[in-house]
Amino acid sequence: MSKVKNLQDLKKMRDELKGKINLREKSDHPESMVQIKVSMATCGIASGARETMNYMIDELDSQAIDAVVTQTGCMGYCYAEPTIEVTMPGEKPLVFGNVNTKKASEIIEKYIKNGELVDGIIPDSYETIDGK
């Protein structure tokens, strides 16, 4: 028996399947969404960068915030790992240090959703990580 009996079937299917390629859709328009880079060098991973990254991906996703989360190499702030760099559309990137899941939640709630600054910004004027 055929799977798609009418247009509603197809639309339902499409909505369910969207998630499969959502990551690709988003990466096609990185400039229009929140871009987050998580430092995943040895020191970052040791201090919990992977948990932070997973947490951010899940949280942003469940709140339906359009964001692209990527991993990047050492940012040179080993003392403050895990570090993440957040770029809001059209704005300069900011780096946050010591981002555990609690901090990550604060960054999402305050900075990403409302544009309020939160503690833990690493002030150094720096080049974006892979400045190419």
Positions in the binding site for other proteins (CB under 8 A): 2-7, 10-11, 13-14, 17-21, 23-24, 26-28, 30, 38-42, 53-54, 57-58, 61, 68-73, 130, 132
Least separation in angstroms between residue 4's CB and other proteins is 5
Least separation in angstroms between residue 25's CB and other proteins is 8
Closer of 19 and 115 to other proteins (Cβ): 19
Closer of 16 and 114 to other proteins (Cβ): 16
Closer of 44 and 107 to other proteins (Cβ): 44
Least separation in angstroms between residue 50's CB and other proteins is 9
Distance CA 92, CA 85 (A): 10
Three-state secondary structure string covering 11-79: HHHHHHHHHHHHHHHHHCCHHHCEEEEEECCHHHHHCCHHHHHHHHHHHHHHCCCCEEEEEECCCCCHH
Distance CA 86, CA 38 (A): 9
Closer of 101 and 118 to other proteins (Cβ): 101
